[in-house]
Structure 1
Amino acid sequence: MDRALSRSITSIIRRKICQAYIKSWLISLKKINKKEERIKNASKNRKK
Protein backbone atom coordinates (compact mmCIF):
# COMPACT_ATOMS: atom_id res chain seq x y z
CA MET A 1 0.00 0.00 0.00
CA ASP A 2 2.65 2.51 1.05
CA ARG A 3 4.86 1.60 -1.91
CA ALA A 4 2.03 2.14 -4.41
CA LEU A 5 1.16 5.46 -2.78
CA SER A 6 4.76 6.71 -2.81
CA ARG A 7 5.11 5.57 -6.43
CA SER A 8 2.03 7.52 -7.51
CA ILE A 9 3.23 10.59 -5.59
CA THR A 10 6.67 10.45 -7.20
CA SER A 11 5.12 10.03 -10.66
CA ILE A 12 2.88 13.08 -10.04
CA ILE A 13 5.86 15.11 -8.81
CA ARG A 14 7.93 14.03 -11.83
CA ARG A 15 5.12 15.01 -14.19
CA LYS A 16 4.81 18.44 -12.53
CA ILE A 17 8.57 18.98 -12.71
CA CYS A 18 8.56 17.99 -16.40
CA GLN A 19 5.71 20.42 -17.13
CA ALA A 20 7.48 23.25 -15.30
CA TYR A 21 10.73 22.45 -17.13
CA ILE A 22 8.97 22.42 -20.51
CA LYS A 23 7.25 25.75 -19.74
CA SER A 24 10.51 27.44 -18.74
CA TRP A 25 12.20 25.98 -21.85
CA LEU A 26 9.45 27.34 -24.10
CA ILE A 27 9.70 30.76 -22.44
CA SER A 28 13.48 30.82 -22.96
CA LEU A 29 12.99 29.74 -26.59
CA LYS A 30 10.58 32.65 -27.14
CA LYS A 31 13.12 35.05 -25.61
CA ILE A 32 15.85 33.71 -27.90
CA ASN A 33 13.56 34.11 -30.93
CA LYS A 34 12.84 37.73 -29.95
CA LYS A 35 16.58 38.42 -29.63
CA GLU A 36 17.24 36.87 -33.06
CA GLU A 37 14.45 38.97 -34.59
CA ARG A 38 15.98 42.10 -33.07
CA ILE A 39 19.40 41.17 -34.49
CA LYS A 40 17.87 40.53 -37.93
CA ASN A 41 15.98 43.84 -37.82
CA ALA A 42 19.16 45.66 -36.77
CA SER A 43 21.12 44.11 -39.65
CA LYS A 44 18.31 45.07 -42.08
CA ASN A 45 18.40 48.66 -40.83
CA ARG A 46 22.19 48.77 -41.27
CA LYS A 47 21.91 47.57 -44.89
CA LYS A 48 19.55 50.47 -45.67
Structure 2
Amino acid sequence: PATGGNLSCFIATQGPLPETVEDFWEMVNQCHAPVVVMLTRLVDNYK
Protein backbone atom coordinates (compact mmCIF):
# COMPACT_ATOMS: atom_id res chain seq x y z
CA PRO A 1 0.00 0.00 0.00
CA ALA A 2 0.98 3.62 -0.44
CA THR A 3 1.22 4.06 3.34
CA GLY A 4 3.92 1.38 3.60
CA GLY A 5 1.84 -0.46 6.21
CA ASN A 6 0.57 -4.00 6.11
CA LEU A 7 -3.21 -3.67 6.10
CA SER A 8 -3.74 -7.37 6.84
CA CYS A 9 -1.85 -7.08 10.14
CA PHE A 10 -2.80 -5.30 13.35
CA ILE A 11 -1.57 -4.79 16.91
CA ALA A 12 -3.97 -5.41 19.80
CA THR A 13 -2.69 -3.99 23.07
CA GLN A 14 -3.65 -2.11 26.18
CA GLY A 15 -2.66 1.51 26.58
CA PRO A 16 0.98 1.86 27.56
CA LEU A 17 2.10 2.64 31.09
CA PRO A 18 4.23 5.75 31.57
CA GLU A 19 7.35 3.56 31.70
CA THR A 20 6.43 1.68 28.46
CA VAL A 21 5.29 4.56 26.23
CA GLU A 22 8.59 4.59 24.34
CA ASP A 23 8.36 0.83 23.74
CA PHE A 24 4.77 1.22 22.51
CA TRP A 25 5.70 3.79 19.87
CA GLU A 26 8.74 1.76 18.84
CA MET A 27 6.42 -1.22 18.22
CA VAL A 28 4.05 0.94 16.16
CA ASN A 29 7.00 2.26 14.14
CA GLN A 30 8.54 -1.20 13.59
CA CYS A 31 5.22 -2.56 12.31
CA HIS A 32 4.69 0.48 10.04
CA ALA A 33 1.18 0.80 11.45
CA PRO A 34 -0.60 3.44 9.34
CA VAL A 35 -3.39 3.93 11.91
CA VAL A 36 -3.65 3.74 15.70
CA VAL A 37 -7.17 3.33 17.13
CA MET A 38 -7.81 3.87 20.84
CA LEU A 39 -10.92 2.17 22.24
CA THR A 40 -10.59 3.36 25.82
CA ARG A 41 -10.85 6.65 27.63
CA LEU A 42 -7.86 8.94 27.40
CA VAL A 43 -7.77 9.05 31.21
CA ASP A 44 -8.88 6.03 33.25
CA ASN A 45 -9.42 6.35 37.01
CA TYR A 46 -7.40 9.58 37.06
CA LYS A 47 -4.32 7.82 35.62
Confirm or deny a common fold (TM above 0.5): no
Name the structure where helix makes up a greater proportion of residues: 1
TM-score by length of 1: 0.29
Larger Rg: 1
TM-score by length of 2: 0.29
